[in-house]
A and B are shown apart, each in its own frame.
Chain A
Amino acid sequence: MRRFVTGIAVAALLLSTAACGSSGGETESDGIDKVKVGVIPIIDVAPIYLGQQKGFFSNRKIEVSMEAGQGGAAIVPGVVSGQFQFGFSNMTSLLIAQTKNVPIKTVAAGVASTGEQGKDFGGVVVKADSPIKTAADLAGKKVAVNTLKNIGDTTVRESVRKAGGDPKGIQFVEMPFPNMPAGLQEGQVDAAWAVEPQLTQIKAAGGRLVASNFVDAAPGLTVAAYFTSTKLAGENADLVKRFTEAINESLAYADSHPDEVRAIIGSYTKIDEKTRADVTLPKWPTEINQASVETLAKLGTGDGIFDGATPDVAKLMP
């Protein structure tokens, strides 16, 4: 009842005082920090699950637990309010947040493109009999992305530009990744920017890859990163440092043990074994490729996704 009253009172009055939750995570008497990480249940976050299993976090007196929300709409607010100590988000969203002065900063790399044309974990696909042969042919077509004005459409535009096409005429439409195989098949869209495991699924159904947009956007593109609130970074630098070390160890381990990655994905997703064996895994370098983030910022500025502002990449970096 009390919670209800609080909740409704806040909802009704839209009070502003609500956002003063705890931010440090709980520290047990034996010095172990309990840390919640907001993630999306996709392949990209396999290293943190692997690191948890391997004890890379408990070694550093961190008891990590993952909170897997869909789409991540809840992750940034959760981190800002201190409900989560860390979160996982794609780089463009973090840049957008930076232009709006959201008090967050990155603490470690999340996931990166493989950098190999045709062999990346995300790409633009079309139906087998589509007249679209190269990225340049996408001009004037209807292309599905999971979120408008984000990393998908800016990088796809770059692919089209590099292939000599005109990205202006592309009509981007929003479609959740899991719907893309059907959307393509039924002709609801001409092309789709898909990531694993849907990419494998589409290719298995005869789909054809026409562009590796992450590869076209920048060499060694950092696609996503782990971040925390500036508040926690200021108040508990030691915890952040230990978390970063643990994540880095996890990333390095995941990068060199693909079989274990494929196995652990089964523990937090429902991707079947065959697909897990077939998907193209991303790269998990331990450093955020700052040059690639600068490029993303430049592309985003050109496409007008920052509402006229220019992101300050340095402020976002650890």
Chain B
Amino acid sequence: MRGLLGLAGLLVIVEALPRSGLVDDGYLPPTSRIVAALGDEVVTAEFWQAVADTLTAWVIGLAVAVAAGVVVGVAIGAVPVLRAATSSTIEFLRPIPSVALIPLAVLLYGTDLGSTLLLVVYAAFWQVLVQVLYGVADVDPIADETARSFRFGAWARIRHVLWPTALPYVFTGVRLAASVALVLAVTAELVIGAPGLGKMIAVAQTSGAVPDMYALIAVTGLLGVAINLAARAFERRTLAWHQSVRGEVPA
């Protein structure tokens, strides 16, 4: 409910700024005009196709990144030697901006879904990996010692000690990765021209169709909100036992 209030406030401000003349309405059209442009868009099949394309790239990219991030993260995090040996490489590869990979993506996949996926996976993977590594490092040494003294095997220690500790971090990682993946999907479409919302934004922008551009940008934002709400709901159900969630229940 309160969230709706916040959003309503934003809509009012965007309506008022250009109307009052504080901002030129050629650069920031009032909410009503953006909404009208959005209304024109949502009745076209082209728009829904673009949404579907973007979401496809997002879902596949995120799934691959999360799976790879968790597996690699747990493997590296659980074995100190591996962690020491890979950390410099990880630190080196991570800051390479995904946009610098655009020529490579195009060489490999052209403007297909694949080029978007490469950028999405590359960017989202690190988000998950880093969180998993943090989570694994946060394992309570006493709990680990206890498990050892009970002669838990490696697999059991991962399953019963490491995983529950790392889980909240994994969720944070997934949530971050989910939004980074969406951002990168749209960016890749925008820059490379792979089909999707990003490409529609690019076309609207070069055509000077400002209200359409804002409408489409808003759609990406709304998608992000929806994705985050879903991730949070999922997190709350599965992490009900954790302190960060527990504190909320009585309210």
Q: A residues near B, CB below 8 A? A: 1, 3-4, 6-8, 10-12, 14, 18-19, 21, 36, 38, 40-42, 67-71, 73-74, 77-78, 80-81, 83-84, 176-178, 181-182, 185, 197-198, 201, 205, 268-272, 275
Contacts and interface: CB of A to CB of B under 8 A. Distances in A.
Given A7-B118, A7-B122, A270-B203, A70 B193 contact: yes
Secondary structure type dominating chain B contacts: helix
Interface in B97-151: 101-104, 106-111, 114, 117-118, 121-122, 125
Contacts of B245: none
Contacts of A198: 208
B205 interface: yes
B206 interface: yes
Contact of B207 (A71, A84, A269): A269
Nearest to B192: A74
A41 B107 contact: no
- Among A3, A4, A12, A181, the one with the most B-chain Cβ atoms within 10 Å of its Cβ is A4
Contacts of A73: 102-103, 191
6 contacts: A7-B118, A38-B111, A73-B103, A81-B110, A176-B205, A181-B26
Contacts of B109: 83
Contact of B107 (A8, A18, A201): A18
Contacts of B26: 181-182, 205
B199 interface: yes
Interface residues of B, number: 37
Contact of B212 (A6, A41, A270, A275): A270
- Among B121, B191, B207, B208, the one with the most A-chain Cβ atoms within 10 Å of its Cβ is B207
Given A10-B108, A269-B206, A74 B212 contact: no
Kindly list the 8 A-B residue pairs having the minimum CB-CB distance in the complex, ordered from nearest. A83-B110, A69-B193, A270-B209, A270-B207, A70-B202, A81-B107, A269-B207, A7-B118
B204 interface: yes
Interface of B: 24, 26-27, 64, 67-68, 93, 101-104, 106-111, 114, 117-118, 121-122, 125, 190-193, 199, 202-209, 212
Given A12-B93, A68-B199, A198-B208, 10 more contacts: A6-B108, A10-B108, A21-B108, A41-B206, A67-B111, A77-B106, A78-B110, A78-B111, A83-B111, A269-B203
A74 B111 contact: yes
Contacts of A176: 205
B183 to A, nearest CB: 16
B191 A4 contact: no
Nearest to B210: A178
Nearest to A3: B114
A181 B26 CA distance: 9
A241 to B, nearest CB: 24
B110 A67 contact: yes
A36 B106 CA distance: 13
Contacts of A12: 93
A127 to B, nearest CB: 14
Contacts of A185: 24
A42 to B, nearest CB: 6
B110 A36 contact: yes
Nearest to A69: B193
Contacts of A70: 190-191, 193, 199, 202, 206
A14 B109 CA distance: 15
Nearest to A269: B207
A299 to B, nearest CB: 26
A41 B108 contact: no
Nearest to A42: B206
B121 A7 contact: yes
